[in-house]
């Protein structure tokens, strides 16, 4: 392993306070620290508590990572204490939540100014533009870490540069992303770019500007997966784009997989693994929609009926925040009993990486969050895709249309955060059933899809191994800062 015995290298990692952003950054922090770099991982008390086992393991392994807990200014926006993560707040608070993040700037600057090793660089999430000023004041390079796919980052950049969304007034009007090697059609509400909705203009402008002024970009992807888009994106930005993924492959031991992101995963690990052990290889469908997306009770029941109709074994994850009294009753008195042998319904946080890594998983129904998709690809699991919002529609196009690793449910309208009593159903049970049966079936096209994704999983592993493209990029990234 290329090890940097450089006592003065201090990288400051600042993830957005959302699971899909914190999780890959904890992997990156450990990867950097393993190479001899001192890391400060900036977080808040509630988020630190979730990753406590990772903190503990880092201490036991003598990794030079300091997990820094800054007090989150919940009170300033009228939120109860501990509402420090996007998955803990209602959507009506979203804008205020993002705006108040900049109050972390002063305590962070104070921490960095008094640290015994001055910072060498800041690696800040693309959704944390409030860190620009700190890097300027401390005169250190700032690297943007983008959570989604490179295709999304590139499309976002192109639509901003050509001001496409300025001319699109109707949220459902279609447009084509300009100047791309492939034709990608979106609407304003499904199109590339975070924060496109009304009210988010300042946050959106700040994030675009933070990308423009960054010294380099880090992406959680790998060359064999998105080569043409990475090259174009780098050319377009005129700055280095470091691809360092799939970061999830850093977690090799079972324990590390189940503890990733939230200690609650570990509580379920044994029970879930025992259930999976009783199934044939590649026979189980895993159904989960990330940490934020929520569905109405009616939509969840429709999904359950679709799953049941396939007669395939499944693991279905439902978030605590989605469970209404009506859904709870239906699950425990009707559905649980009916699918007793076939389906395992899990509530709350689950050890996703451990589940996806199991040999009995044959397919994944996903909301197309980039971490979930990358985890699936790197483990050779094909997908049924059901995007809900933001980057998920672009990620879906990459995986289904460009890479050919998935079957789409054909969702064209975003689902934000429906209330429990919302009575709309965007995907019906028949479509759910037929997409799953197709993906897990014996058609030649599907066999070819499974072969292709397995091949890409091998390339993913190689990218992360010593001498692989992502491994080498980590080395060069560190050299670019310290040499």
**Binding range to ligand UDP, per CB under 6 A, among 183-191, 217-225, 238-246, 290-298:** 290-298
3-state secondary structure of 217: strand
Q: Are 424 and 418 in contact (CB under 8 A)?
A: yes
| Residue 10 vs 260, nearer CB to ligand UDP | 260
Helix axes 19-34, 370-378, angle to 10 degrees: 50
Task: Pick the binder of ligand UDP from 126, 129, 290, 304 (CB under 6 A).
Answer: 290
27 binds ligand UDP (CB under 6 A): no
Q: What's the CA angle centered on 469, arms 464 and 472, to 5 degrees?
A: 85
Task: Pick the binder of ligand UDP from 317, 344, 398, 400 (CB under 6 A).
Answer: 317
| Residue 10 vs 50, nearer CB to ligand UDP | 50
352 binds ligand UDP (CB under 6 A): yes
| Residue 121 vs 363, nearer CB to ligand UDP | 363
3-state secondary structure of 168: coil
Q: 370-389 mask for ligand UDP (x: CB under 6 A)?
A: xxx--x--------------
Is 421 annotated as catalytic?
Answer: no
22 binds ligand UDP (CB under 6 A): no
303 binds ligand UDP (CB under 6 A): no
19 binds ligand UDP (CB under 6 A): yes
Q: What's the CA angle centered on 176, arms 173 and 178, to 5 degrees?
A: 140
Determine how many CB atoms are found less than 10 A away from the CB of residue 416: 12
Is 21 annotated as catalytic?
Answer: yes
Residues 92 and 467: their CA atoms lie apart, in Å, by 47
- Measured from the CB of residue 253, what is the shortest distance to ligand UDP in angstroms? 15
350 binds ligand UDP (CB under 6 A): yes
Total of residues contacting ligand UDP (CB under 6 A)? 22
Residue 80, token pair as written in the block: 């109860």
- Measured from the CB of residue 272, what is the shortest distance to ligand UDP in angstroms? 11
Beta bridge partners of 285: 314, 363
Catalytic residue among 27, 125, 206, 391: 125
Task: Pick the binder of ligand UDP from 306, 369, 406, 468 (CB under 6 A).
Answer: 369
Residue 331, token pair as written in the block: 């699950």
- Measured from the CB of residue 162, what is the shortest distance to ligand UDP in angstroms? 27
CA distances (Å), origin 128, targets 73, 144, 204: 15, 9, 11
344 binds ligand UDP (CB under 6 A): no
287 binds ligand UDP (CB under 6 A): no
- Measured from the CB of residue 349, what is the shortest distance to ligand UDP in angstroms? 4
Q: Are 127 and 144 in contact (CB under 8 A)?
A: no
Residue in this structure with the two tokens 């090890």, named with its chain if needed: 3
Catalytic residue among 10, 21, 146, 358: 21
Residues 115 and 4: their CA atoms lie apart, in Å, by 20
261 binds ligand UDP (CB under 6 A): yes
- 27 closest CA partner among 483, 430, 470: 470
Strands (E) in 159-301, as ranges, are 174-176, 185-187, 216-219, 240-243, 284-288
Residues 322 and 258: their CA atoms lie apart, in Å, by 23
44 binds ligand UDP (CB under 6 A): no
- Measured from the CB of residue 126, what is the shortest distance to ligand UDP in angstroms? 13
CA 262 to the chain's CA centroid: 14
| Residue 243 vs 372, nearer CB to ligand UDP | 372
> Dmax over Cα atoms in the chain, in whole Å?
64
Residue in this structure with the two tokens 């469908």, named with its chain if needed: 285
Residues 358 and 190: their CA atoms lie apart, in Å, by 32
Q: Are 9 and 482 in contact (CB under 8 A)?
A: yes
| Residue 66 vs 352, nearer CB to ligand UDP | 352
- Measured from the CB of residue 136, what is the shortest distance to ligand UDP in angstroms? 29
- Measured from the CB of residue 325, what is the shortest distance to ligand UDP in angstroms? 22
15 binds ligand UDP (CB under 6 A): no
291 binds ligand UDP (CB under 6 A): yes
Residues carrying an active site annotation: 21, 125
Query: Which residues of the chain form contacts with ligand UDP (CB under 6 A)?
Result: 18-20, 23, 260-261, 265, 288, 290-293, 317, 349-350, 352-353, 369-372, 375
């Amino acid at each position: 392993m290329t090890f940097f015995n450089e006592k003065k290298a201090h990288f400051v990692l600042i993830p957005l306070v959302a699971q899909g952003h914190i999780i890959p950054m904890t992997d990156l922090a450990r990867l950097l620290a393993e190479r001899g770099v001192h890391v400060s991982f900036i977080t808040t008390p509630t988020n630190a508590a979730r990753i406590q086992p990772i903190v503990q393991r880092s201490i036991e392994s003598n990794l030079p990572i300091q997990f820094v807990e800054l007090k989150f200014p919940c009170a300033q926006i009228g939120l109860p204490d501990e509402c420090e993560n996007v998955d803990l707040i209602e959507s009506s608070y979203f804008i205020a939540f993002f705006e108040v993040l900049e109050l972390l700037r002063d305590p962070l600057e104070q921490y960095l100014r008094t640290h015994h090793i001055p910072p060498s660089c800041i690696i800040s999430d693309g959704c944390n533009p409030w860190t620009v000023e700190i890097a300027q004041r401390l005169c250190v390079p700032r690297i943007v870490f983008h959570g989604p796919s490179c295709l999304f980052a590139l499309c976002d950049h192109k639509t901003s540069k050509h001001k496409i969304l300025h001319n699109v007034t109707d949220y459902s009007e279609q447009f084509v992303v300009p100047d791309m090697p492939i034709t990608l059609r979106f609407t304003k509400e499904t199109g590339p770019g975070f924060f496109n909705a009304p009210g988010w203009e300042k946050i959106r402008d700040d994030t675009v500007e933070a990308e423009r002024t960054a010294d380099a970009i880090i992406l959680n992807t790998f060359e064999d997966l998105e080569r043409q888009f990475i090259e174009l994106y780098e050319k377009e930005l005129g700055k280095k784009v470091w691809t360092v993924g799939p970061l999830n492959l850093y977690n090799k031991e079972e324990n590390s997989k189940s503890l990733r992101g939230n200690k609650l995963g570990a509580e379920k690990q044994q029970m879930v693994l025992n259930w999976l052990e009783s199934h044939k290889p590649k026979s189980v469908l895993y159904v989960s929609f990330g940490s934020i997306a929520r569905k109405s009770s009616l939509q969840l029941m429709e999904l359950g009926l679709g799953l049941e109709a396939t007669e395939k074994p499944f693991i279905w994850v439902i978030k605590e925040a989605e469970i209404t009294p009506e859904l709870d009753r239906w699950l425990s008195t009707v559905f649980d009993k009916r699918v007793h042998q076939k389906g395992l319904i899990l509530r709350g946080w689950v050890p996703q990486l451990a589940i996806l890594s199991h040999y009995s998983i044959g397919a994944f129904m996903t909301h197309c969050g980039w971490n979930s998709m990358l985890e699936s690809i790197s483990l050779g699991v094909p997908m049924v895709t059901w995007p809900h919002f933001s980057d998920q529609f672009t990620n879906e196009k990459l995986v289904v249309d460009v890479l050919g690793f998935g079957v789409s449910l054909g969702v064209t309208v975003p689902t934000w955060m429906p209330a429990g009593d919302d009575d709309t159903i965007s995907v019906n049970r028949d479509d759910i059933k037929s997409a799953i049966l197709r993906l897990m079936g014996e058609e030649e096209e599907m066999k070819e899809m499974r072969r292709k994704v397995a091949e890409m999983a091998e390339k993913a592993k190689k990218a992360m191994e010593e001498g692989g493209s992502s491994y080498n990029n980590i080395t060069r990234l560190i050299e670019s800062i310290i040499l």
